[in-house]
Amino acid sequence: MAQPTHEWHPRQRPWQEEDLSDLPEDGNRYEIIDGSLHVTPPALPEHHELADDIRMALRQVAPEGWRVIREIGVRVPEGNLIPDITVLKSDAPRKQMWAEPANVALVIEVESPNSRRHDRFTKPALYAEAGILHYWRVEQGDFGPVVYRYQLVKGVHYDLVGTLGPDDPVHIDEPWPMRLDPSAWPR
């Protein structure tokens, strides 16, 4: 009988941000929610392509100094999350691995089968609790990407402010005034 190559022991304390640096760089997304480690397997290439296209579309119209970053860490109460896309305000400090919520203008999650429940329920609640003003959830519909745009209300929860699909280019004001056109993103 083969000997196990790795023996797992339960943690004696909740997971903390510094514990994340000890985890392997294996393509999985490691996040902490209420002291528990959540592991999401790598997304499909289509997910990354869509996130890249959204990021580039936002970067092209971003005001000077604003940054649109893929997969930077964001601190939330009792945890650390890694949104697919994070828009950092122009005065946000640079060269930080984990962004403070006060420096984040918008987080975007691109849904995939492995992240659907977290992107729809868990993460929005944590982003709202952290005080992040805007949250977008993007899902791949039958005819192309659909963007669900949410805004923080009373500092406690998000209200849906609009939904747009690939045939609905629209002018929006968050996080800055721009024309948003999902038809330019992959289908």
- Compute CA distances 18 → 79, 98, 104, 118, 169, whole Å: 11, 11, 21, 22, 42
Assigned CATH class of 43-184: alpha beta
Tell me, yes or no, if the pTM score tops 0.75. Answer: yes
Q: What is the pLDDT of residues 93-145, one digit of tens each?
A: 998 889 999 999 999 999 998 889 999 999 999 999 999 999 999 998 888 89
Report CA Rg, the chain.
17
Neighbours of 138 (CB within 10 A): 23
Domain coordinates in residue numbering, the chain = 43-184
Token pair 């691995």: residue: 97
